[in-house]
Amino acid sequence: MADDTLLDDVGTLLQKAADEVVVPLFRKLDAADVAEKAPGEIVTVADRRAEELISARLRELRPDSVVVGEEAVADDRDLLRHLDGGGDVWLVDPVDGTSNFAAGRRPFALMAALLTDGEPTAAWVLDPLAGLLATARAGDGTYLDGQPVRLPEGAPPPQELRGVAMTRFLPPAARERVSAGRSRIGELLPGQHCAGREYLDILTGRQQFALFWRTLPWDHAPGALLVRLAGGVARRFDGSEYHPADEGHGLLVAANEQVWTEVRDTLLGD
């Protein structure tokens, strides 16, 4: 298919995977449908089946491309080497928020990103139960259900900000700083266990920032590009730009530069 239909093509593909594989299994999993792929990390038949469907179709869209899916990487970590290589590389998270999905809770999302010669160039996040699809493409901007999105400039004082801080995996020193700054942020949420939904909530204005420690590429490459192309910021705690091939930790995503600075100083400042 022509490149000018890429956003629609992949968005339709994610919706197909949601309609045919993921949503029909929601709250209908048996014990045998859920397995532990690593300590504390689970996978369901929905994850595996959706990734197979999405990966096969993406290879048809770009025959010379490589697909780096979350479940494929669980079996072969060597696939990660493609993230800073040449050509077209797809990142796929077939069910973001697997722990929610397996427990019969929402939210969960289906996500994909396209890297071209190592740089993120397009992204998709679908919350199938909310019926919300975000797409973005370099040079074209970010869209929510087909409507262009531009995040607002400026920022309220910290006491009026709303956002999430995923503190579970933070090092003790960083966790203490976040805890100390909590009273100076208007509303600091614990997180929804679904990175895709956190990014969508920044785009819709429900929150102005999200702070993460773990930054697996399939969890953050799609959302980071969506926010950036809408005028937002996605950076490491030290201010360096996030890149999916970087295996570092710590990521602060914000609606704009001013919000990023306020949250960084309030929650992570020395």
pLDDT digits (tens, 9 = 90+) for 134-193: 999 999 999 999 999 999 999 888 899 999 999 988 999 999 999 999 999 999 998 999
Residue 131 · residue 18 · CB < 8 Å:
no
Place of tokens 């919706």: 15
* Angstrom distances, CA of residue 263 to CA of 33, 50, 175: 40, 36, 14
Q: State which residues form the domain around 77.
A: 3-148
My answer on whether 25 and 115 are in the same domain is yes
My answer on whether 16 and 137 are in the same domain is yes
Residue 245 · residue 118 · CB < 8 Å:
yes
Confidence of residue 3 (pLDDT cuts 50, 70, 90): low
* Angstrom distances, CA of residue 134 to CA of 54, 122, 161, 257: 17, 11, 23, 21
My answer on whether 92 and 133 are in the same domain is yes
Task: Write the pLDDT tens digit of every residue in 233-248.
Answer: 999 999 999 999 998 9
Q: Which residue from 98, 226, 270 is spatially nearest to 253, judged by alpha carbons?
A: 226
Q: Which residue from 233, 231, 234 is spatially nearest to 251, judged by alpha carbons?
A: 234
CB-based burial label for 191 (10 Å; 0-12, 13-18, 19+): middle
Which of 121, 148, 175 terminates a domain? The answer is 148
Per the domain annotation, does 34 fall within a domain?
yes
The percent of residues in the chain predicted with pLDDT above 90, rounded, is 91
Torsion angle of C-alpha atoms 148, 19, 22, 138, degrees rounded to 10: -20
My answer on whether 162 and 141 are in the same domain is no
My answer on whether 254 and 197 are in the same domain is yes
Beta strands in 24-146 (DSSP E): 34-38, 41-44, 66-69, 88-96, 109-116, 119-127, 132-137, 141-144
My answer on whether 143 and 25 are in the same domain is yes
Which of 98, 125, 148 terminates a domain? The answer is 148
DSSP string computed for 13-52: HHHHHIIIIIHHHTT---GGGEEEEETTEEEEHHHHHHHH
My answer on whether 80 and 124 are in the same domain is yes
CA distance 44 to 190: 24
The percent of residues in the chain predicted with pLDDT above 70, rounded, is 99
The beta-carbon contacts of 230-239 under 8 Å, at least 24 apart in sequence, are 230/136, 230/141, 230/142, 230/149, 230/150, 230/151, 230/203, 231/150, 231/151, 231/153, 231/255, 231/256, 232/151, 232/202, 232/256, 233/257, 233/259, 233/260, 235/260, 237/174, 237/264, 237/268, 239/264
Confidence of residue 33 (pLDDT cuts 50, 70, 90): very high
- The whole-number pLDDT of residue 40 equals 85
- The whole-number pLDDT of residue 161 equals 96
Kindly report which listed range (22-26, 38-42, 197-201) carries the lowest average pLDDT score: 38-42
Confidence of residue 39 (pLDDT cuts 50, 70, 90): confident
CA distance 58 to 246: 24
User: How many domains does the chain divide into?
Assistant: 2
Per the domain annotation, does 153 fall within a domain?
no
Mean pLDDT in residue range 42-46: 97
Which of 102, 126, 148 terminates a domain? The answer is 148
Per-residue pLDDT at 2 exceeds 50? no
The CATH code of the domain that includes 226 is: 3.40.190.80
- Provide the annotated binding site for Mg(2+): 70, 93, 96, 219
pTM summary value: 0.96
- Provide the annotated binding site: 70, 93, 96, 219
My answer on whether 261 and 192 are in the same domain is yes
Confidence of residue 26 (pLDDT cuts 50, 70, 90): very high
Place of tokens 């570092």: 248
